[in-house]
Amino acid sequence: MNTSSKNIFSAALGNLLEGYDFAIYAILAPILAVVFFPNLDPMISLMLVFSVFAFSFLVRPLGGLLFGYLGDQVGRKQALIISILVMSLVTLLLGLLPSYATIGIWAPILLTLLRLIQGIAISGEMTTAMTYLVEHAHQSQRGLLGSLVMCTGAGGAVISSALIALITAGVTEEQLFAWGWRIPFLLGGLIGLIVLLMRFQFEETVLYQTVKKRVKNKPSFFEYYKQLPYKPIVMAVLLTSIMAMSYYFVVGYFNAFLIETLHLPLNQVMMINFVCLLALTGLIPIMGIISDKLGRKPVLMSGIIGLILLIHPIFALLQQDEIYLVFMGEFIFVIIISSILATIPATLAEMFQVDNRNSGVSLGYNLSQAIFGGTAPLIALELTVMTQNLYAPAWYLLAGALVSLLTLLTIKESYQQPLK
């Protein structure tokens, strides 16, 4: 494996861990609700777990500011080292966290605090990896390498889903709630420390090194953000909204919906989620390659329009009694959103220049995640409870898709343009 391939592998592996770490919490939400918020109505406990999930996204813009500046002024490499270090330590601590039965109210308080710190670290991991991989890519492969960010993120969710499915099948329910839920967190933290050692061997992108050689004085944090172009950042926020919402419907909301609302067996729901996430992981790089041939806009637009047309039929399938129809609904959903997830990274990176690319991508992506992504499972549950209408979340997704579509129409095609 040559040096460039090692750099790409290490960046992608860290991002896989990011997807793994964050998906663990969402997938285990029904279990964590009992461990950290017992003695409450099950739906209220679940909503509190998703509230903590949402809070960890609200700090992502703060992480975007911090890691955006570090990535642009200190280097992509240093930002990626710091993010994986913090992320790994927090994941280990989550696996060691005492339950409510052990330390009372301090358990959910510490859970929330750790998730906030993790949210800051992850905000730097994914977006800096986007910048790093796209800058490493040849012009004809930016879509593919950019898609690896979402592919490995989804792959991390697949691994966590598979591991949790194995654990739930291999231990009793009592053991699962007592200690089984800790295993995925502890493994994630240990693997992260291994990735950290690999990242010390990183090399900066040639494009970044070339530009920074011409810049002698580094602006302060506040001076830097005063001169940042904010119009493309706003466009990035709006464009990314449907990706943020749809992905966390798969990782978070659908599981809770099928278990708590439709009362499907836990092991069946976990298996459906695992297969669908596996399919999503395989489809994303294929869509990335297609975007390198046809352009970002046609591929991205096909996914958004597909979601607009099929979101209500999908929700109809998710409410059926036959398990194969439920599976079909979630499977169609991931096929549609694969083209959205695949093209967003390269599209965002191509919207900015090298001296502000990491900041622009970090702010645009993380603001969208904070507003639309982390809140998606909670809002979907709230809408369902308030309206007593199981289709209410579908209308929410439809609104997000329309916002992204209108934004996409204003953006120029960039797949054949050289990075600057």
37 found inside a domain: yes
One DSSP character per residue, 176-218 reads: IIIIITHHHHHHHHHHHHHHHHHHTT----HHHHHHHHT--SP
414 found inside a domain: no
Structurally, how many domains does the chain consist of? Answer: 1
Residue type, 226: K
What does the block give as tokens for 409? Answer: 């129409």
88 found inside a domain: yes
316 in Cβ contact with 186 (< 8 Å): no
Integer Cα distance of 134 and 344 in angstroms: 12
CATH code of 117's domain = 1.20.1250.20
What does the block give as tokens for 254? Answer: 């659908």
Between helices 142-170 and 182-199, what is the axis angle to 10°?
A: 150
Q: What is the pLDDT of residue 4?
A: 65
268 found inside a domain: yes
221 found inside a domain: no
64 in Cβ contact with 348 (< 8 Å): no
416 found inside a domain: no
- Residue 356: name the closest of 34, 106, 4, 68 by CA: 68
* pLDDT per residue rounded down to tens, the chain (420 residues): 555 677 777 778 888 888 888 778 878 888 899 899 887 778 788 888 888 877 888 888 999 999 999 988 888 888 989 999 999 999 999 999 999 999 999 999 999 999 999 889 988 888 888 888 888 878 888 999 999 888 988 888 888 878 888 888 888 888 988 899 999 999 999 988 888 888 888 778 777 777 776 666 778 888 888 888 889 999 999 999 999 999 989 877 888 888 877 888 878 888 898 899 889 999 999 999 999 999 999 999 999 999 999 999 999 999 998 899 999 999 999 999 999 999 999 999 999 988 889 899 999 999 998 889 878 888 898 898 899 899 999 999 999 999 999 999 999 888 888 777
Q: What is the pLDDT of residue 224?
A: 86
Q: What is the pLDDT of residue 166?
A: 87
Other Cβ atoms less than 10 A from the Cβ of 302: the count is: 17
223 found inside a domain: no
What does the block give as tokens for 346? Answer: 């390269």
- Residue 277: name the closest of 1, 27, 109, 8 by CA: 27
183's CB contacts (< 8 A; 6+ apart) are 95, 163, 167
What does the block give as tokens for 111? Answer: 């859970």
417 found inside a domain: no
Q: Domain range for residue 126?
A: 3-201+228-408
Q: What share of the chain is helix, strand, coil (3-state, %, to 5)?
A: 85, 0, 15
5's CB contacts (< 8 A; 6+ apart) are none
pTM score of the predicted model: 0.85
What does the block give as tokens for 351? Answer: 């919207």
